[in-house]
């Protein structure tokens, strides 16, 4: 079963949100990404799609994820990428993520370039730097001639190129690809193969699923095989010695997260820990700016969970107030929910009432949210 979300979003105007002096946080990729006793199911009485998975993958690794249809490959990738929270266990060490879903929501109400510029801003690439990165990937993937076309008018293959471009924009330390080659022409497939090789050579981790057994032949460090019961067997790939040993990258677009585990409870009352999304690349050294995310379809039972995410200042259902430095993380969390629609993202008018001038405010908000959730249960 595949779960995906379509959503409506107006391009926000970020003028003023980051108008104060900004300091770029420059760190390398995380040394290892660990899945610790991870499990995922879509409801308390539903079967475990992924169960008790503990994996450890180091930098410069290319991992092929295999299994029959319906074995949980897509779910495992979503959990690893932070798009989907685990029902049990946690993921640690996750760097900045680039994720290509199995199904890209191509009906979004703006052009390919507008969408990519918006995604670039969420990844911390603003102004000319964002424009250059967008134009580079549109050109490399053979989509430059369609940059101004509405996404809803593009072919599946062209939409897939846009999906790949948004994943590669931030020079991710973890690149996750779910059937990303589907619908691409040969030239674009070769470009994607080269891009993956570049990221892995630079010390990134890449996880991929593809129906073609010859895809990236001779390059995979490991093979993760799902058995159909939610468990994973790890085997050497066809290039087990391919781990990159180069020093950490200091590219400004690739940022290491503050990965925070949040205690939670599943529908049956079993304690679990959920891993937060990777943090953004900026710290505001003047005062924290606040973004308001307007949503529809957020269930009452999810309000406490959203309210406990790092950087969230308040969540009353229709509106989520969040520190700007955490807004992309919160957006990803919201869009992972079934039936949740993001109507708009906008700066809050007036001075923010955060009560603190730095990220300590977000950390205290996260701690308070976790305590509130525990009290409610």
Phi, psi at residue 189, to the nearest 5°?
-60, -45
Question: For the chain, what percent of residues have pLDDT higher than 90?
Answer: 44
Of residues 335 and 30, which shows the higher confidence score? 335
Separation of alpha carbons 286 and 376, rounded Å: 35
In this predicted structure, what is the pLDDT of residue 169?
Answer: 93
363 is a domain residue: yes
User: How far is it, in rounded angstroms, from Cα 23 to Cα 360?
Assistant: 16
Please give the Cα distance from 90 to 74 (Å, whole number): 17
Give the β-pairing of 222-226 and 62-66.
Answer: parallel
Q: In terms of domains, do 13 and 45 share one? A: no
**Res. 1: pLDDT tops 60:** no
Q: In this structure, is residue 250 part of a structural domain?
A: no
Q: Which pLDDT value is given to residue 350?
A: 55
315 lies in some domain: yes
What is the average per-residue pLDDT within 344-364? Answer: 52
pLDDT tops 60 at residue 18? no
Domain count across the chain: 2
CATH number of the CATH domain containing 117? 3.40.50.300
272-293: per-residue pLDDT in tens?
333 333 333 333 333 347 888 8
Confidence (pLDDT) at 29? 54
If you average pLDDT over residues 101-115, what whole number do you get? 85
Does residue 202 sit in the same domain as residue 81?
Answer: yes
Per-residue pLDDT band at 215 (split at 50, 70, 90): very high
Do 299 and 365 belong to one domain? yes
Confidence of residue 99 (pLDDT cuts 50, 70, 90): very high
pLDDT tops 50 at residue 54: yes
Instruction: Write the pLDDT tens digit of every residue in 70-88.
Output: 999 999 999 999 988 899 9
Q: Are residues 80 and 214 in the same domain?
A: yes
221 and 102 in a single domain? The answer is yes
Domain boundary among the residues 183, 204, 236 is at 236
End-of-domain residue from the set 236, 263, 290: 236
User: Quick one: 12 and 71 in the same domain?
Assistant: no
Domain for residue 243, yes or no?
A: no
Say whether both 11 and 159 belong to one domain.
no
* Mean pLDDT estimate for the chain: 75
CB-count burial class (<10 Å; 0-12, 13-18, 19+) for 71: buried
> pLDDT band for position 305 (50/70/90)?
confident
Q: Residue 210: what pLDDT?
A: 95
- Inside any domain, residue 320: yes
**177: which strand partners?**
100, 208
- Could you list the residue range(s) of the whole structural domain that residue 377 is in? 1-23+281-377
What pLDDT, on the 0 to 100 scale, is given for residue 38? Answer: 96
Q: What is the pLDDT of residue 140?
A: 96
Check whether 143 has a pLDDT greater than 90.
Answer: yes
What does the pLDDT read at residue 216? 94
By C-alpha distance, which of 129, 130, 208, 201 is closest to 164?
208
Query: Does the residue 258 lie in any domain?
Result: no
205 and 127 in a common domain: yes
User: Quick one: pLDDT at residue 256?
Assistant: 35
Q: Quick one: pLDDT at residue 147? A: 94
**More confidently predicted of 185 and 304:** 185
Same domain assignment for residues 180 and 128: yes
Average pLDDT (138-158) is 94
pLDDT, one tens digit per residue, over 163-206 is: 999 999 999 999 999 999 999 999 999 999 999 999 999 999 99
pLDDT at position 242 is 60
5 and 79 housed in the same domain: no
Instruction: Tell which residue, 229, 271, 224, 177, has the closest CA to residue 50.
Output: 229
Confidence of residue 31 (pLDDT cuts 50, 70, 90): low
User: What is each CA distance from 167 to 62, 116, 187, 192, 366, in whole angstroms?
Assistant: 16, 10, 18, 11, 27
Average pLDDT over residues 289-311: 81
Predicted local confidence at residue 337, as pLDDT = 65
pLDDT at 336: 67
**If we measure between CA atoms, which residue out of 290, 369, 354, 353 comes closest to residue 20?**
290
What pLDDT sits at residue 124?
Answer: 85
- My answer on whether 133 and 88 are in the same domain is yes
Please indicate, yes or no, if residue 340 is contained in any of the structural domains.
yes
Q: Is residue 220 part of a domain?
A: yes
Last residue of a domain, one of 236, 258, 293: 236
**Confidence band (pLDDT; 50, 70, 90) for 131?**
very high
What pLDDT score does 374 carry?
40
Q: Are 343 and 292 in contact (CB under 8 A)?
A: no
Please give the residue that has the higher pLDDT: either 277 or 143. Answer: 143
Say if residue 19 is in the same domain as residue 143.
no
The pLDDT of residue 113:
94
pLDDT digits (tens, 9 = 90+) for 230-251: 999 998 887 776 654 333 333 3
Higher-scoring residue by pLDDT: 343, 61 = 61
């Amino acid at each position: 079963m595949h779960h995906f979300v379509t959503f409506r979003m107006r391009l926000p105007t970020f003028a003023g949100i980051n108008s104060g002096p900004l300091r770029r946080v420059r760190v390398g990729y995380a040394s290892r990404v660990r899945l610790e006793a991870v499990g995922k199911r879509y409801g308390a009485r539903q079967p475990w799609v992924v169960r008790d998975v503990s994996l450890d993958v180091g930098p410069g690794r290319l991992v092929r994820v295999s299994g029959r249809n319906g074995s949980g490959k897509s779910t495992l990738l979503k959990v690893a990428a932070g798009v989907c929270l685990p029902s049990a266990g946690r993921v640690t060490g996750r760097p900045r993520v680039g994720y290509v879903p199995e199904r890209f929501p191509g009906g979004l109400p703006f052009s390919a370039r507008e969408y990519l510029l918006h995604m670039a801003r969420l990844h911390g690439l603003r102004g000319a730097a964002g424009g250059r990165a967008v134009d580079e990937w549109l050109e490399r993937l053979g989509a430059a001639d369609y940059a101004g076309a509405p996404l809803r008018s593009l072919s599946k293959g062209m939409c897939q190129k846009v999906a790949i471009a948004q994943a590669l924009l931030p020079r991710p330390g973890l690149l996750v690809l779910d059937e990303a080659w589907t619908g691409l022409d040969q030239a674009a497939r070769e470009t994607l193969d080269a891009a993956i090789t570049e990221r892995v050579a630079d010390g990134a981790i890449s996880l991929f699923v593809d129906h073609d057994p010859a895809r990236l032949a001779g390059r995979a460090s490991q093979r993760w095989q799902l058995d159909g019961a939610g468990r994973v067997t790890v085997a050497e790939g066809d290039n087990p010695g391919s781990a990159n040993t180069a020093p950490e990258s200091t590219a400004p677009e690739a940022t290491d997260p503050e990965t925070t585990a949040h205690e939670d409870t599943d529908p049956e009352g079993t304690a679990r820990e959920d891993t937060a999304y990777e943090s953004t690349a900026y710290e505001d050294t003047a005062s924290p700016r606040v973004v308001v995310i307007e949503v529809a379809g957020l269930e009452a039972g999810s309000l406490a969970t959203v309210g406990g995410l790092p950087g969230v200042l308040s969540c009353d259902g229709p509106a989520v107030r969040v520190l700007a430095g955490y807004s992309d993380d919160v957006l990803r969390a919201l869009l992972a929910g079934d039936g949740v629609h993001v109507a708009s993202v906008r700066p809050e008018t007036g001075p923010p009432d955060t009560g603190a001038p730095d990220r300590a405010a977000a950390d205290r908000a996260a701690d308070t949210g976790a305590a509130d959730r525990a009290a409610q249960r």
